[in-house]
Amino acid sequence: MPDLPPDLPRLRTLETFLALLLDEVRRAIAAAETREAERQTGIERRPAPPDWLIELGLNRDSPAVQVHVGDCWNAGKRTRGIRRDEALRALADGVKACGACRPDSELGFLEG
């Protein structure tokens, strides 16, 4: 036990200080719990990744660069989700298949 002051006024002052500090800690805990609950809700409500991605060129007039499987680690930042038929059409039109995720194999696409 820490050394406490022997007189009542200082003990009451210490009690008041500790009560205020405990209230502050409890408010901080409640705020942290709220943030964690909001983060968890965001994770649960996050939409599922698309099945297929197309990586776009540097500007809007550039042709597509690559086709990726939806969760490919190698997909660039300029991607958008596409449907299966769009992925097959892009591959047929000559858009390169990602070498990491191999969407052509996943789609059963055979060249030529």
- Which segments of the chain have a pLDDT < 70? 1, 111-112
* Structure confidence by residue, pLDDT tens digits, 42-67: 999 998 889 999 999 888 788 899 99
Structure tokens at 39: 């983060």
Q: Are 78 and 66 in contact (CB under 8 A)?
A: no
- C-alpha–C-alpha distance, residues 47 and 111, integer Å: 33
pTM check: above 0.85 = no
**pLDDT value of position 60:** 77
* Count of other CB atoms within 10 angstroms of residue 72: 20
**pLDDT value of position 86:** 93
**pLDDT value of position 1:** 61
**pLDDT value of position 24:** 98
